[in-house]
Structure 1
Amino acid sequence: MKYELIIIGGGAAGFSAALEAERKNKKTLIINNNENVEIGGTCVNVGCFPTKHLLYKAELIYKIQNNIFEGIKTNLQIDYSKIIEEKDKLVLKARKEKYIKILKNLKNVEFLNGKAKFIDKNTIIVNNKKIKGEKFLIATGSRTYIPQIPGLENIEFLTNKEALDLKELPDKLIIIGGGALGLEFAQIFSRFGSKVVILEATNHIMNGVDDDFERLISNYLKDEGIKIIKNAKIKVIKNNVVILEDDKKIQFDKLLIAAGRVANTDDLGLEKINIKLGNRKEIVVDKYLKAVENIWAAGDVIGNPMLETIAAKEGNLAVKNMYSESKEKMDYSIIPYAIFTDPQFASVGLTEKEAKKNDIKIKCNFVKLENLPKAIAIKDTKGAIRFVINENTEEILGIQLLSPLAGDIIHEATMIIKNKMKIKEVIETIHVFPTLSEIIKLGAQDFKRDISKMSCCVE
């Protein structure tokens, strides 16, 4: 049997591609290797969806335990196994509703569970059966990057997948890596009751974030009891002890690897079809997501930025480009992202560091959340906002935000930058009072007046 399109990978990129192929009435086969991750990919099964569920619960627990509000007393009890049990139920439901059920409604798309491997540019083998296709999309995603650390091979370490399946809380948890994944898991486990130490090999957590935001989130995490060790060079791991190069010893019950991601390109037979790979095994594609003559790739498998929304967009775009004369390319310059710590960090457009590196003449500010009426009202004033604007035209080039619900608020910032708005236009836009999203307007007003001398709702 020959298919017009074969999609290898059942995550965000693969499903987005399948939906676009269905719209184009293309006979399509989608293949997912469920041994790596269930249908739906990393996000719904072992990534965004379950971690945000646990982060929300952990935030509620933290605020109750720390008596944030006067007059509220409770004897809080935590059953961690029940918490994980509910997480599993929600993941299963999301997988069924958003992937399995959707797949059953696609008339032109078939599904096959198995590991695909290329024999030539038009043939793959799955479950010992040869299958031919006219065009292919590789969307096999990524997995945890495992650094070369002496002694690591002798312990049962965790990745995000195993960490989400723990039925009991570790008393002492070490997390290797201070990026988004490491920080989110650190706050989850710390707020549930574990003693957490983050070991970051570089001098920065939240790589690429401006220094003042990094300092704020570092201080917030440390205030909660999370220990962060930067420039942590590990000499060896043995007997549930990490020994650093300065001979400092740190004991642990569990160790979580969160040192980045690597593309899933092993054992696909890519050497037989002349596909080029990058430093972290990612597939090299052109600006239209084509790898070679009749093969495209999308999502984490083509490298950073590894975000679910980008994967979905790339999967859709790849199929459009397969069957259209007018090609489209991704615009990565206005894609927002978020780190779902508490407070959350979100960013879109240029940071101050990036603007200076590119010799762009800019003006920046840094407005603390303690100036925002809604933040004061809910007693949650941790955070700040920064605008990066063109010095001459006052066009807004970038916005970074550390605040409650920053991942939601950043979409207003994305539209501002996409539409090349200027400071004056944001100031003249009326916002609902009191809201957290007013921080966008307050950040703009800061360029024109002393916001410490303003009353609420003043234009």
Structure 2
Amino acid sequence: MTQAFDIVVLGGGTGGYIAAIRAAQLGKSVAIVERDKLGGTCLHRGCIPSKALLRSAEVYATMLESERYGIQAESVRLHFPGVQARKQGIVEQMHKGIQFLMKKHNIQVVYGNGRLLSPSIFSPRTGSVSVEQEDGEIVTLVPEKLIIATGSRPKSLPGLETDGHAIWNSDDALGMEELPQSIVIVGGGVIGVEWASMLNDFGVQVTVVEYSDRLLPAEDSDISRELERLLRKRGVQVITDARLLTETVQKEEGAVKLQIERKGELQQLQADKMMVCVGREANVEDIGLHNTDVKITNGFIQVNEFMQTAESHIYAIGDVSGGLQLAHVAGHEGIMAVEHSAGQTPRPFPHHEVPRCVYTRPEVASIGWTERQAVDRGYEVKIGRVPFAAVGKAVVYGESDGFVKVIADKKTNDILGVHMIGPHATDFISEAALAQVLDATPWEVGQTIHPHPTLSEALGEAMLAVDGGSFAI
């Protein structure tokens, strides 16, 4: 069976289904090829289920400390099967929502393994997509434009494969039926520290091993230091500047033993489980790229500023294209790719204008350059910094750790970066993102009236503090 479409999207994750919806809004005929479930990694193995678990962990931690708020709660117990059931219910609810959107926009969803085919008599210019369905039937889709949105998967360490039992990746951890007593997390990036924070709140003894000299090495160093301090305060063991010796990993009697090397010395670690969080790699295998002129560099598909590959009718978006591996980035890239393929002129967005969020306790959120990045690029910077302890709402919440840091250019007064660690930081980083899009100055954001008492006052005060005008410090 052969069907023709204006646009075919290979992959139904966040980037893929948003691209499909945008194409339908522009009046295009659209099909999505999905080998598993619509929503992809974000909905089923990433953003949504992990944040559901993090929320349960946060509530549990708050209830254990309820006396701080004048509330005596006896016999607070964690029922982990209930936590997992809530997580799965949220995922299923969101999944149904995406399925509804596909029907609403008349987008055809074809389930199966899709592979790109070379041009033929049926598709002499663009080639086609062969979809092998579960029952063995082959469906051929002929697109005018093709968007590859096949996403990514957890990366393994050379010589160390995860087994889903003693050694986990983030996918495995989401499906755990019971909590371990202890765990070693290899990797102190975003995924690693989120799991460390969550499992610590659930009562697990957590050790984080990070190869870099600090946690969250892509974030501002002040943020990294504060997060490490707060995790240590909660009892998380953090070991930075350390290298895992994969050949030493042993699984025996319900435990994992391993050695790390730090500053020339060996250290033995042992825990019930080990979790590997060392990044993600693109799903570029077995999708027929060898039948095209699409180029791959360092495991990712090469694209231009409009997400266009070496073949002008083929686009690649999201994790598979090698940019920031964030769901909201994939969605915006999908919109941009569709609009460009339709002859419009979308605005390419530089990656330093993308808000980044880490859902630890407290949360981390940032946009723009770190202080080091700004200095390395030749900027003469001025800094505004306000602690959440100076903000009434944070004190009322009982979550006054952390701060907001604003980096600005001394010469032009442009905002170069905003970095936050504190309660609900991910909820108001968008104000800083809007400020960058509008090219606002710290003074302009500071002059914007922030209601009192709110957590957003911390951002407004930090903007004023750039020029010494804060009323909070």
TM-score range, shorter chain: over 0.9
Partner in structure 1 of residue 439 of structure 2: 420
CA displacement at 1:435 relative to structure 2? 0.7
Q: Conserved in 2, the CA contact under 8 Å of 1:151 and 1:237?
A: no
Q: Distance between the aligned counterparts of 2:422 and 2:65, measured in 1?
A: 19
Partner in structure 1 of residue 329 of structure 2: 310
Encode CA deviations 1:339-393: one digit per residue, 9 max, x unaligned.
1111111111222111101011211133222222222222221001111111123
Partner in structure 2 of residue 28 of structure 1: 30
CA displacement at 1:27 relative to structure 2? 2.1
Partner in structure 1 of residue 122 of structure 2: none
Find 2:307's aligned residue among 281, 289, 312. 289
Partner in structure 1 of residue 121 of structure 2: none
CA-based RMSD of the aligned residues comes to: 2.0
Counterparts in 2 of 1:392 and 1:131: CA distance versus 1, 3 Å = closer
Q: Distance between the aligned counterparts of 2:18 and 2:164, measured in 1?
A: 40
CA displacement at 1:78 relative to structure 2? 0.8
Partner in structure 2 of residue 85 of structure 1: 85
Q: Conserved in 1, the CA contact under 8 Å of 2:154 and 2:171?
A: no
Query: Structure 1 residues 258-267 or 423-432, which shifts more?
Result: 423-432
Find 1:360's aligned residue among 373, 379, 383. 379
Counterparts in 2 of 1:106 and 1:423: CA distance versus 1, 3 Å = closer
Q: Conserved in 1, the CA contact under 8 Å of 2:166 and 2:272?
A: no
Q: Distance between the aligned counterparts of 2:181 and 2:159, measured in 1?
A: 23
Counterparts in 2 of 1:357 and 1:340: CA distance versus 1, 3 Å = same
The answer as to 2:408 corresponding to 1:389 is: yes
Encode CA deviations 1:228-278: one digit per residue, 9 max, x unaligned.
111221222112211223442211222222111111111112122021112
**Secondary structure, counterpart of 1:21 in structure 2:** helix
Partner in structure 1 of residue 72 of structure 2: 73
Partner in structure 2 of residue 47 of structure 1: 46
The answer as to 2:152 corresponding to 1:138 is: no
Partner in structure 2 of residue 198 of structure 1: 208
Counterparts in 2 of 1:117 and 1:438: CA distance versus 1, 3 Å = same
CA displacement at 1:307 relative to structure 2? 0.9
Partner in structure 1 of residue 369 of structure 2: 350
Q: Conserved in 1, the CA contact under 8 Å of 2:186 and 2:278?
A: yes
Partner in structure 1 of residue 113 of structure 2: 115
Amino acid at match of 1:184: E
**Secondary structure, counterpart of 1:233 in structure 2:** strand
Amino acid at match of 2:302: V
Find 1:436's aligned residue among 446, 455, 461. 455
Q: Conserved in 2, the CA contact under 8 Å of 1:138 and 1:296?
A: yes
Structure 1: 5+ residue stretches without partners: none
The answer as to 2:61 corresponding to 1:62 is: yes
| 1:251-270 matched pairs, under 5 angstroms | 251-270=270-289
Q: Conserved in 2, the CA contact under 8 Å of 1:5 and 1:136?
A: yes
Query: Structure 1 residues 344-353 or 153-162, which shifts more?
Result: 153-162
Q: How many residues align?
A: 448
Structure 2: 5+ residue stretches without partners: 119-125, 133-137
Q: Conserved in 2, the CA contact under 8 Å of 1:152 and 1:237?
A: no
Find 1:237's aligned residue among 249, 253, 261. 249
Q: Distance between the aligned counterparts of 1:65 and 1:388, measured in 2?
A: 37
Query: Structure 1 residues 330-339 or 48-57, which shifts more?
Result: 330-339
Counterparts in 2 of 1:77 and 1:380: CA distance versus 1, 3 Å = same
Q: Distance between the aligned counterparts of 2:331 and 2:162, measured in 1?
A: 34
CA displacement at 1:205 relative to structure 2? 1.3
Counterparts in 2 of 1:151 and 1:137: CA distance versus 1, 3 Å = closer
Counterparts in 2 of 1:59 and 1:68: CA distance versus 1, 3 Å = farther
Partner in structure 2 of residue 341 of structure 1: 360
Partner in structure 1 of residue 10 of structure 2: 8
Q: Distance between the aligned counterparts of 1:87 and 1:151, measured in 2?
A: 27
CA displacement at 1:290 relative to structure 2? 0.8
The answer as to 2:171 corresponding to 1:161 is: yes
TM-score, length-scaled by structure 2: 0.90
Q: Distance between the aligned counterparts of 1:152 and 1:377, measured in 2?
A: 43
The answer as to 2:181 corresponding to 1:174 is: no
CA displacement at 1:14 relative to structure 2? 0.9
Partner in structure 1 of residue 389 of structure 2: 370
Counterparts in 2 of 1:212 and 1:132: CA distance versus 1, 3 Å = same
Q: Distance between the aligned counterparts of 1:174 and 1:105, measured in 2?
A: 45
The answer as to 2:85 corresponding to 1:94 is: no
Q: Distance between the aligned counterparts of 1:446 and 1:330, measured in 2?
A: 28
Encode CA deviations 1:61-83: one digit per residue, 9 max, x unaligned.
11221346252111211110111
Encode CA deviations 1:37-57: one digit per residue, 9 max, x unaligned.
x21111111111111122122
Identity over the aligned pairs, expressed in percent?
27
Q: Conserved in 1, the CA contact under 8 Å of 2:14 and 2:327?
A: yes
Counterparts in 2 of 1:10 and 1:151: CA distance versus 1, 3 Å = closer
Q: Conserved in 1, the CA contact under 8 Å of 2:115 and 2:130?
A: yes
Find 1:320's aligned residue among 339, 352, 357. 339
Q: Distance between the aligned counterparts of 1:152 and 1:396, measured in 2?
A: 43
Query: Structure 1 residues 39-48 or 419-428, which shifts more?
Result: 419-428
